[in-house]
Amino acid sequence: MEKVNQMKLSDNTLNLLNNFSTINSGITVKSGNEITTVSAMKNIFAKAIVDETFEQEHSIYDLSEYLGAVSLFDTPDFVFNGESVNVNEGDNSVTYYYADPQMVISPQKDITMPEPEITFDLDGDVLGSLLKASSVLSLPDMVLSSDGTTVELTVKDKKNATSNVYSRTVAQGNGSTYEMFLRMDNIKVLGGDYTVFVSSKGIAHFTNRNISVEYFIALEPDSTYNEG
């Protein structure tokens, strides 16, 4: 007899899945309570611990479409079986078929974060203001920089010498000087407060301080770091 796994998904989990759909249009959810995703370019990796424990591994090819179907309901039940998930509430239901896992790009292993030289707290309001400035002023780059005394996050267009610039001071310096570049297109993190760890080996690690989600984002290759 086919095993059936019925559950509800919390708003927190649905919000995480919606966020992950901006990183990769598909997802493979493995059994357990951890969900992960990776971008097609392999330059963004995200993982989260969710409230639910999934017993049935399943792949969704178009996560946005799937979540759109879920949004037809208020608080539905999810029945996961061998080939599909049935989303139902009252007299209404949607049967949504899984994808072939080979058709979905998914992480094959965890990220090993190198020892970070830079650590700072990034509050949600500061993050929000940087994202908004990038959008309003069409600025594609985020720069984490220090003159050794203070640490700033700046959004700008690094290819344009007369680019508009928006900056926020985020920490005290440690004597080291650096310019670490991130593409704004790659900063697909949920809103909230983060602790950020940055390694000169080319990776930034954003860890949410309120919910169990973290992101590993590749730095641009022209990033520079000079030990103080």
Side-chain half-sphere exposure of 215, counting CA atoms within 13 A: 26
Percent of the chain with pLDDT over 90: 94
Count structural domains, the chain: 2
Co-location of 36 and 87 in the same domain: yes
Please give the pLDDT value at position 1. Answer: 41
Q: What is the pLDDT of residues 123-149, one digit of tens each?
A: 999 999 999 999 999 999 999 999 999
Residue 113 lies in a domain: no
pTM of the full predicted structure? 0.95
Domain termination residue (choose one: 103, 128, 143): 103
Domain termination residue (choose one: 77, 103, 129): 103
Among residues 10, 9, 13, 25, which one has the least CA distance to residue 188?
25
Co-location of 175 and 83 in the same domain: no
Domain termination residue (choose one: 103, 128, 153): 103
CATH code at 191? 3.70.10.10
Co-location of 87 and 134 in the same domain: no
Co-location of 19 and 68 in the same domain: yes
Helix axes 63-70, 11-20, angle to 10 degrees: 150
Among residues 68, 9, 65, 19, which one has the least CA distance to residue 39?
19
Distance (Å, rounded) from C-alpha 48 to C-alpha 212? Answer: 5
Co-location of 31 and 85 in the same domain: yes
Whether the per-residue pLDDT at 150 is higher than 70: the answer is yes
Residue 108 lies in a domain: no
Residue 130 lies in a domain: yes
Whether the per-residue pLDDT at 48 is higher than 90: the answer is yes
Residue 112 lies in a domain: no
Sign of the dihedral through C-alpha 110, 111, 115, 120: negative
Range of the domain at 201: 118-226
Residue 81 lies in a domain: yes
